[in-house]
Structure 1
Amino acid sequence: MSPAGCPHVNSFKVDNWKQNLRLIYQCFVWSGSAETRKRKAKSCICHMCGAHLNRLHSCLYCVFFACFSKKHIHEHAKSKRHNLALVPPLMRLLP
């Protein structure tokens, strides 16, 4: 792998993906206490159906949250051509 990173992933990156990742972590993940982290994680809801904690993914192109299990993130990727998303770590830890 080159110092620039994986060429396959680099082809999907947009100019502002790092800022979007920082925004996701600042607003929805990082905090000083476990209670604050839980509250922030619960505030992340699918922008299509309103569900939360349902294998929710966040688009790194536009900070769009959508369900994986209901294929809402798939629909978003297809319609917007936004092909880079992640599951913020706290969302995986909550029941």
Structure 2
Amino acid sequence: MKKLKTKTLWVIAIASGLFFILSPLIATPIGTLADKILLARFAEQWSLTHSADPFWYMALGEQIFTFTTLFVAFVALVFGVLAARELYKRH
């Protein structure tokens, strides 16, 4: 990170903080898409067997949303900490 300018590091640190705070909003479209896919699969299986458990699909959709939220927050936190650490070393 020595080659990056100080201004660039500030932008990375601020953007990472914003992404960390907004991670639930960023993950919402991915969670919605997963829910649509899972609901379509549930409807397909329900018409064939009538034994599919809808709560399993709902729980899986929530787990995908939770994982996506935590992943976005973790990546933002890692980049933010690295940029902040480099800025701290420069001053």
TM-score normalised over the length of structure 2: 0.31
TM-score normalised over the length of structure 1: 0.30
Which structure would you say has the larger RCO, counting Cα contacts within 8 Å and 6 or more residues apart? Answer: 2
The structure richer in helix per residue is 2
